[in-house]
Amino acid sequence: MVNAVETRGLGKVYQLDVLKGRKRVVALDGLDLTIPAGHVLGVLGPNGAGKSTTIKLLLNLIRPTSGSALIFGRPPSEAEARRDVGYLPENPAPYEYLSGAEFVTLAAQLSGLKGAECRRRVDEVLGQVQMTSFAGVQIRRYSKGMTQRIALAQALVARPRLLILDEPTSGLDVLGRQLIREIVLSEKQRGTSILLCSHIIPDVEALSEDVAILVGGKLVRAGPVSELLSQQDAEAELVFEGLSHETLDGLRARVLQTGRRVVLRCPAAAAQDVILRCLGQKATLISMQPIRLTLEDTFLEALKAQGQKVGSVIE
């Protein structure tokens, strides 16, 4: 089966200061990425890591300076390649003079839907994003959350095989976030491939099967979420009472809190040794808790490994 997205050595360099011709911003550098059909890929990265650049390259909003990208086997520059793509941009800006229903109808028409089928799909997606009662209101009167829902509706209206969601839950309240998560899950169950960029790591962890971490325009980690999490050393958190400062010095553990109660964190493999040594010093073990590593830990570790780069590389 053909992959939903496939990029090989994809790169984008912006020229700054064209007259001097010296400064170059490497927004994306040699990205190799594959989203098999029906998979959900979460893309993480700090600001300026190249997430939005990747999306724009996949949608032909910008042109690559190196490498190539394919959507269901076709280059994004072909209009037909984008027929199966639904796109929700970060901070979506729909035409404010249109009502929600008019805007979604325009999107449906541009995707080739006509007549009764078009009207039926528009009604369906407006219901799906719970905007039916506001469908006739001009978008200029919408709140941010309502605009986000209408933008999601236009992305879904043509039943895309690939959904590209850039920060879909940003600026939404709890209910809005929950709704969007439910919609993404239902699309996932329908077999839609999804590329999900978000700063909200728990969302990415909950919705994605695979994760790619971009830092400074480069792909630094990629793989199934479970695999990335298992690559990290498990840790344990230990709480003691009556532990002297002298004992702490020789332990293979990080001290998180001192005082009457001392909180330590150490590799799970070293926990037994730490406990035995502390108990030998007449300390009392209050609790021991294995630390469940999250995607956030993986992300932060990847950032640290890259020197916590924020923004693109300027040459």
Using CB under 8 A, list all residues that contact other proteins.
Answer: 14, 56, 59-63, 79-83, 85, 87, 89, 91-95, 97-98, 102, 106-107, 109-112, 151, 154
The end-to-end CA distance of the chain, in Å, is 40
CB of 16 to other proteins, least distance (A): 12
Q: Which residues are paired to 219 by β-bridges?
A: 214
- Cβ at position 83, least distance to other proteins in Å: 4
* Residue 93, both tokens: 């800006």
Is the Cβ of residue 110 or residue 291 nearer to other proteins in the bound state? 110
Residue closer to other proteins (CB basis): 79 or 174: 79
- Are 137 and 100 in contact, with CB atoms under 8 Å apart? yes
Nearer to other proteins, 83 or 277 (CB): 83
Please check whether residue 7 is in contact with residue 33, taking contact to mean a CB–CB distance below 8 angstroms: yes
Task: Give CA–CA dist 266/274, Å, rounded.
Answer: 8
What's the closest the beta carbon of residue 157 comes to other proteins, in angstroms?
A: 10
3-state secondary structure 171-238: CCCHHHHHHHHHHHHHHHHHCCEEEEECCCHHHHHHHCCEEEEEECCEEEEEEEHHHHHHCCCCEEEE
Q: Which residue has the tokens 């808790």?
A: 289
C-beta of 135: minimal distance to other proteins in Å? 16
Q: Give me 221's structure tokens.
A: 């980690």
- Structure tokens given for 68: 């190539």
Residue 246's nearest CA partner among 273, 282, 271, 270 is: 282
Radius of gyration of the chain, Cα coordinates, nearest whole angstrom: 24
CB of 201 to other proteins, least distance (A): 25
Instruction: Enter the tokens of residue 310.
Output: 């924020």
CA 93 from chain center: how many Å?
Answer: 20
Q: How far is the CB of 87 from other proteins (least distance, A)?
A: 4
- The least CB distance from residue 112 to other proteins, in Å, is 6
Residue 74 CB neighbour total at 10 angstroms: 16
Tokens 């999490």 correspond to: 229
Q: Per DSSP, what are the bridge partners of residue 255?
A: 264
